Every structure is written in structure tokens, then in C-alpha cells.
A = this chain, B = another copy of it.
Amino acid sequence: MALRACLRGRRGLTGVLSQLSSCNSHGRVSPVLIAQQRNNSTSQKIQVDFDQSTGVAVMRMQNPPVNSLSLEFLTEICINVEKLEMDKSCRGLIITSDRPKVFSAGLDILEMYGKTPERCAEFWKAVQEMWLKLYSSNMATIAAINGSSPAGGCLMSLTCDYRIMADNPRYTIGLNETLLGIVAPFWFKDTMVNTVGNRSTELALQLGLLYSPAEALKVGLVDQLVPEDQVLTTATKTMSKWLAIPDHARQITKSMMRKPTIDRLMSNRESDIKNFVGFITKGSVQKSLGMYLEMLKKRKA
């Protein structure tokens, strides 16, 4: 059923492309920092607002145009998450986007095109690191998905404990790697299986399905839909319910659920990097990516 709906809508590659290319022309003012928040850290691409009275940090991604996960951006995300993780007063993390219409467009394709194997390896290590930090976080984590979230953007949201998405039918979410001729690695797959089960994952990954919010809710890829202007406020309210649970019991439980999946990457990091680099530097794959980037450029022009 999910498949039919997804294919009927003919979202997919074209859908992503139009979203990606249209994002440049729609600026949005960045929300004003609220003064009473005590512990904020703002880098160029990440804005973290930590409210010590609630123990909740909000991490806003602002890497124009579409929060593509470049090596630099991934590194900033990791540093910020690690900082919050070490701050025992920070118990909850909400991840959201400060860019219009998009949560994150996923891995930056420019990091995979025409790069040396060494650079590709460094990039992939950063993708792993981001996933490891978020999926194993002791904080309660909520993704406030206020825009489209394909591929790596979807993965990032899947690392969270709870997903709230804007109920805007123009947004999509999914691990759509196959559409680009590339393949979601085993730990992307594991994360999705843990969330929506084996069969939905098999369909979604083989076909590179991008789901509308309604479809994503139905299949279990997100937990809740709310009007677009209520995504963050709902995330905040929901977080207070997560923080009502004793931390140590929640953390042990979370670790028990996720440890086997985390251990699987941990004990295969090097081979996974090698595998990625070998695949992505192939002539045929580079050619696919080149064509994809060319299409992107034409769309923007």
C-alpha cells in the first residue's frame, strides 16, 4: 500500500530535485534568540539554545541552502552533540532546521564526487560518527522535522527517540539512495528496520521511496504530524513527558534496545569505510553522481 501511494504521487527523484533547487530562492529570517536562555552556543552552521531550567537544548541546523551534510557540517554537529552529552544538566535534545522547507537534504553529494579516496574516507567516518553519537545518546532526543528529509536527513531523524513532522504534503522523508544509483549501508538499513520493520524497509530501500508525511506516519517512519507552525512547540511539550521518566532507567532501556545495532557498526567501521570508498570512487557510480549534479544545476538555472 505504501508503495502504491508513493509511486502514484510520483514523488521521488524529481520531487527532491525541485525541492532542493527551490530552496535557494526562499529566504526566511532566523528566529530571534530568546534572552533568558542561559547557555547558548552558536557556530556558523549550528545554533544551540540550551535552557538550563528545563534541561532541554534545541539544535537548529542552518547550513544554506538545504542543510546538506558536508564533512564540515557533520563535524560541527558532532562537536555540538558531544558538548551537550558531556553537560550532565542537559537531559533532552531537540533537532530542527532553521532553513525553509527542508530539515536536511542529506549527505552532501559534492563530498562524494571527484574526491580522493582519502577525503571520501574522512567524510564517511564523519557520517558514522554523527550516527553513533546520536543513536547512542544518553539524552532524550526528538527530531522536529519541519521540512523535507531525504536520505541522510532521514537517517538523522531516525536516530532520535521520537519524530514529529510538519503535516505539509509537499514535504517528503525517506532513505531514497537507490534513486541516485547509490546504496544505503547496512547501518542505515538496521536503523530503518528498527523503526519500521523488515518488510517496509525492504520496499523503501529497494525503491528509494520518499514518503509524504501522511504515508510516513502510516508506515511508522515518523511518530506524529502537526501543523507546520507547531512542530517545535509540540517537540518541546513532548520532551517534558520524556524527561518525566527517571533518566537512568530510560538510558539503560535505550541502550539495551540499541546496543546490538551500534555494536555492529562499531565492530565494522573500517570495513564499512573501505566498502564505501571502493563503491563511491567507481567510475560508474561517479558517472551517476555527475549526471545527478548536472541535473541539479540545470534545475537551478
A45 at the interface (CB under 8 A from B): no
Cβ-based interface call for A207 (8 A): yes
In the complex, the answer to whether A249 meets B3 with C-beta atoms within 8 Å is no
**Distance in angstroms between the alpha carbons of A241 and B177 in the assembled complex:** 16
A269 at the interface (CB under 8 A from B): no
Q: Which residues of B contact A242 (CB under 8 A)?
A: 206-207
* A interface residue count range (under 10 / 10 to 19 / 20 to 34 / 35 or more): 35 or more
Which of B193, B223, B248 is the one whose CB lies under 8 Å from A3? B223
Q: By the criterion CB–CB under 8 Å, are B1 and A249 in contact? A: no
- The answer to whether A177 and B3 touch across the interface, beta carbons within 8 angstroms, is no
11 new A-B pairs (CB below 8 Å) besides A203-B223, A207-B242?
Answer: A3-B223, A3-B224, A3-B238, A181-B246, A189-B253, A189-B256, A199-B220, A202-B254, A206-B245, A207-B241, A207-B245
A interface list, Cβ under 8 A from B: 1, 3-4, 7, 161-162, 177-184, 186, 189, 193-199, 201-203, 205-208, 217, 220, 223-224, 238, 241-242, 245-246, 248-250, 252-254, 256-258, 284, 288
